[in-house]
Amino acid sequence: MPLSRLVDDALDRSILLGYGRSGLAVRRRLPGWPADPPRMPGATVLVTGATGGLGLAAARGFSSLGAHVLLLGRDPTKAAAALASVNAAGGPGSTFVCCDLASRTSLDTLIDDFPVDRLDVLVHNAGVMAPRGARSAEGIGLTFTTNVLAPYVLTRGLTPRLAGGGRVVTVSSGGMYGQPLVVDDLEALELGPVACYARSKRAHVVLSGLWAERLADQGIAAHAMHPGWADTPGIQGSLAGFAQVAGPLLRTPEQGADTIVWLGATPDLTAGGFWHDRRRRPEHLLGRHRETAADRTGLLAALERLAG
């Protein structure tokens, strides 16, 4: 095995070094670091949760490559600043799309009135770490609704616009390694916020793998990734103690979003997989929390039932 691969694997297993800013800095200097993505003139990219943090950084990255970016967010008051930030990165401009992913009515309206006929990249970045037991207006667990059910509904609704070369990038978390997929308890309402969030991120990775298999015949590639530890409003608000302790190690939003943009813009990648710092990573560690075929089928069945 090449020395660069051994170093990369050691960083990944250490977590502390691999997920922080030093991990990306070292990997960029290793032989074999993948080339930067090409420009995307004429492409249209939708990024959810794009008014701040990783989503805004990813939107700027796609815009700098020449793509038109649709910034999806639920707070119109943040739109002007986000649009100005993305437009400053260059590209043909950006558009704000208002949608509350926790509201089925809002999602259906977005899909029915989608502003473009063709979509090249769909980035599922938006996520919440809701309080224990919190539910959406429809009575479904809020973390599960926003993080898993909404991406499922959105991807299903936008598949016709993605067909023939589109790409779906799902932003998961390294925290998913600590949780299994529990089909009988997908909403995880009895778990604490961190564990419930991690379980939703495990579902992300499983769902992305199913998309990679089932959308391939329509020319749609799907990938999941995790950004490492990035200093974002989400981590400052939900994990303030961790953010304070790990502050010097945290990546910038741009560093965290690097692989999002790379996956969305790089041609000829093999569909599927769980990625971090431009390389496929194991979906399970130490043989723990492996899903069965029945688990994967059960997840799809549950999402279809909840999505109606």
Rounded to whole angstroms, the Cα distance separating 216 from 224 reads 15
Q: Is 197 a catalytic residue?
A: yes
| Whether 199 contacts 182, CB under 8 Å | yes
Among 129, 122, 91, which residue's Cα sits nearest to residue 260? 122
Cβ-based neighbours of 294, under 8 Å, separated by 6 or more:
183
CA distance 128 to 139: 16
Question: Nearest 5°: phi and psi at 303?
Answer: -65, -40
Half-sphere exposure of 158 (CA within 13 A, CB side): 31
Contact call for residues 149 and 203 (beta carbons, < 8 A): no
Please report how many Cα atoms fall inside a 13 Å half-sphere around the Cα of residue 1, on the Cβ side.
7
Long-range contacts of 77-80 (CB under 8 A, 24+ apart): 78/51, 78/52, 79/51
Determine the residue type at 282.
P
CB-side exposure of 203: number of CA atoms within 13 Å? 31
Please report, in angstroms and rounded to a whole number, the separation of the first and last CA atoms in the chain.
48
95 to each of 50, 109, 216, 265, how far by Cα in Å? 11, 17, 29, 19
Q: How far is CA 24 from CA 34, 62, 269, in A?
A: 12, 19, 20
The size of the chain, in residues, is 308
Tokens of 249: 């190690």
Residues with catalytic roles: 197
